Structures are given as C-alpha cells and as structure tokens.
Amino acid sequence: MNSRNFTKPIIPAVSLAFLASAFAGMVWAGEALTAEQIRARLIDLFPEYHPDHVERAPVSGMYQALYGGELLYITEDGRYLLREAELYDLEEMSNLSEQTRSQARARVLQTYGADKMVVFPAKQQRHYVTVVTDIDCPYCRKFHEHIGVLNRRGVEVRYLMYPRAGEGSDSYHKSVSVWCADDPLQAMTTAKRLQPIEARECANPVLEHMDLVEQIGIRSTPSIFLPDGSLIRGYRPPEELIAVLEGG
C-alpha cells in the first residue's frame, strides 16, 4: 500500500535554479512592490508552487520568501533575486537567514503535530526534541541508546522516520513495521538494537515523514530540531543536548 496519500504534503518543493532563471528574464518598472504583489507574481509564474511566507527582510529594500527550507531574497522592485545566500547581523554576530529558517521549521513541525510521530514521552516533561532518524543509521542507534536517560531527565523524543535508502528499501520496510506494530516504542527499540521485528503493513506516515524532512531541507540523520526550530546536525550525547535545551 502506498501511503503517500496519507495526508497532503504541507509544503511543496521548489527548484530554485528554475525559479531564479525565470526571474532573470523579467523586466520591472522599478517601483517598490508590496509583499502581496511579490507573492502574487511568484504564484503567477509558478502556480504549482506557493511560497509559505513572503515578508520584509531584516535589511531595507528587500523581501524574503520561504519555500519549505529554502530562503530567497528579492529586491523590493522585484528585479534582483539572491539564492543560497546567508544574511548576517555583524553587530549581533548572528545568522539572520538561519533564524528565519528555524522559525519556519518550528511552524511546520507544530502544524504537523506529534500525533503522527513515534513519541517516547518523558514522565515529567520539561523539554522535547524532534529527531529525524533512520533505523539503520549507526549514530541514530547510538542516540537511541540514551533514550531512557533523556526521558528520565524530562526530555520527550519525537521521531520522524527518514530511511535514507529510500522507499521500498529494507530500512523503509522496518520503519513501516515499527509504525504498524502493536507497541511501536518497543518495536523501534528492538529494531535499533539490530534485532528482528515482525513485518507489518498498515496505513502509515513514513513516506509523509520523508517528504516533510526533505521539504524542510534535511538529508542527513540524525538531525535534531529544538522546539524553536533550531537544528543540531548529527549525534549529541544526552548531557550536551540537555545543556543546550536548558540554555547552557
């Protein structure tokens, strides 16, 4: 059963190379446009791709448009477009582009909801993280070894499954079997220990997880999202992760 229709994808993907090349051939009168005019122009050009947000950029004379995890900067007259650019505040020494992406990721994950993730709850929850995981990823398994420590320390772990080998792979079928198991948490732990689990099939969100992860610009596991959408790439030991969550 193909579960790609489990629900409609939240954010469409977009080819920025295609987007930029289309803008390059456009002629503008030079007047300042509103955010709605920029948004309408983008939708006119690419009806199948709607930007999630179009708003003023932190610098004057520019807008920023978000397509999933991709961030574009557009001059207010609509003539010039920057892609794959990072905007820094040198006074605050902060990456404003990453802050914008973090806010977007937080909105997406909150909208998607933990009810369609594999959740290891904490008895007395103080924090939570959303983790992109592959059952057969060595550092994902290493992270999972500490799931009990994290839960006892008040950290709920919410898993999005991302079998990197792709749809139909052994890792993919394991992910489906975990979701469909009578006890998904135990099945996840068993699979992470490289022990066999019962093969199961049911309506499941695994392909949806894969789509969502790619749409917010992630291709690696483990990837850890904090509640504010900040991204930690790769494995972190529990004490280090807890320190980050507690602002240490």
Q: Which residue ranges make up each domain of the chain?
A: 16-101, 113-245
pLDDT at 186 exceeding the cut of 50: yes
- Is 80 exceeded by the pLDDT of residue 149? yes
Under CATH, which number does the domain 16-101 receive?
Answer: 3.10.450.70
26 has pLDDT over 70: no
The Cβ of residue 61 has, within 10 Å, a number of other Cβ atoms equal to 11
* Structure-block tokens of residue 185: 């948490």
pLDDT in tens, 197-231: 999 999 999 999 999 998 888 889 999 999 999 99
Q: What is the mean pLDDT of the chain?
A: 87
Residue 55's identity, in one-letter code, is E
pLDDT at 19: 53
Whole-number Cα distances in Å, 81 to 17, 38, 142, 179, 204 = 11, 12, 42, 42, 39
Distance CA 36, CA 192 (A): 47
CATH number assigned to the domain covering 113-245: 3.40.30.10
Structure tokens at 169: 């792979």
What is the average pLDDT across 31-51? 86
Model pLDDT, residue 247: 85
Q: Is the pLDDT of residue 2 over 80?
A: no
Tens of pLDDT, residues 96-110: 999 999 999 999 999
| pLDDT for the residue 81 | 82
pTM of the model as a whole: 0.79
pLDDT at 67 over 60: yes
